[in-house]
Amino acid sequence: MITFTVAIGNTDAHLRNHSFIHDTGTLSLAPVYDAAPTVQFAGTRDLALWVGGQAMLEVVTRSHIAREVASWGMETDEAAEVVNLTLQRTADALSKAAQATPEVPRSVVEACEARVERLLRQH
């Protein structure tokens, strides 16, 4: 979720936008909700939740995301692999999502695509 949040530019991913599903002895992360590229229209580049010690969206790199994920207990190599896979899948999904929602301005899609490409190039 954190990788996707950064990839689309969702600066409003505060704690109330993350939850768990509790079902008869199991606990799982709820599907992503209230996720939007808020950096495009909210007027802030400050992240609601810091990522890898960074407070500003434009400063966050792929390494910051992987470091954040690893800080939650995932092995470092596995965290980097999950971040990379999520970015690649997000890149693949953006054009499909744009086709499915033509009312979303092309400039918003292009900004998300550019952010994902930047993250994929970085370490």
Q: Which domain holds residue 95?
A: 2-121
Strands 26-29 and 54-56, by their bridges, are unpaired
pTM of the prediction?
0.88
Interval 10-26 mean pLDDT: 88
In whole angstroms, how far apart are CA 92 and each of 16, 84, 86, 108?
28, 12, 10, 16
Task: Give the mean pLDDT of the chain.
Answer: 93
- Number of structural domains in the chain: 1
Q: What distance in Å separates the CA atoms of residue 57 and residue 60, rounded to the nearest whole number?
A: 5
